[in-house]
């Protein structure tokens, strides 16, 4: 399967704990995005990488959130000191600028539940 993969698919944690999610984009896609989707809402942009450079962070991304893409391939999203309000689906997407296309391919998401 050459699609976007995310790990884990589900994560249950207690308030105050740290969690880390991983995203593996489609091979050779140089753009990688993180979105957050809460129940009944559309996904909201969190942050974006072009290769290994993090080029934009949403104001939704508090200081407790950090994302990396160390070698321009996979990416991690870490949430420190989790709060109940962090409970959501975290979606990763990747895209390539080849041919001027603008389609983002999404992974299955990581569903986070903070107790």
Partner 1 sequence: AQTVTQSQPEMSVQEAETVTLSCTYDTSESNYYLFWYKQPPSRQMILVIRQEAYKQQNATENRFSVNFQKAAKSFSLKISDSQLGDTAMYFCASSSNFGNEKLTFGTGTRLTIIP
Q: Which residues bind partner 1 (CB under 8 A)?
A: 3-4, 31, 33, 35, 40-45, 48, 50, 55-56, 91, 93, 95, 102-109
User: Can you spell out the DSSP letters for 58-93?
Assistant: -TTS-TTEEEE-TTSS-EEEEESS--GGG-EEEEEE
The answer to whether 35 touches 91, Cβ cutoff 8 Å, is yes
Nearer to partner 1, 34 or 82 (CB): 34
Q: Which is nearer to partner 1, 25 or 109 (CB)?
A: 109
- What's phi and psi for 85, nearest 5 deg? -70, -10
Shortest Cβ 47–partner 1 spacing (Å): 9
Q: Give 21 or 35: the residue with its C-beta nearer to partner 1.
A: 35
Q: What is the smallest separation between the CB atom of 105 and partner 1, expressed in angstroms?
A: 8
CB 10 within 8 A of CB 110: yes
Phi-psi region of 63 (alpha: psi -120 to 50; beta: other; left: phi over 0): alpha
Residue closer to partner 1 by CB (options 74, 106) is: 106
Q: How far is the CB of 112 from partner 1 (least distance, A)?
A: 16
């Amino acid at each position: 399967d050459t699609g976007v993969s995310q790990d884990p698919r589900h994560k249950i944690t207690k308030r105050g704990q740290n969690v880390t999610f991983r995203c593996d984009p489609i091979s050779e896609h140089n753009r990688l995005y993180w979105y957050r989707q809460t129940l009944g809402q559309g996904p909201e942009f969190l942050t974006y990488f072009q290769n290994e450079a993090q080029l934009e962070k949403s104001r939704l991304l508090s200081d407790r959130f950090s994302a990396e893409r160390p070698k321009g391939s996979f990416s991690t999203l870490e949430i420190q000191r989790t709060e109940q309000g962090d409970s959501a689906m975290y979606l990763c997407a990747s895209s390539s600028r080849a041919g001027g296309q603008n389609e983002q391919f999404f992974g299955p998401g990581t569903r986070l539940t903070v107790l």
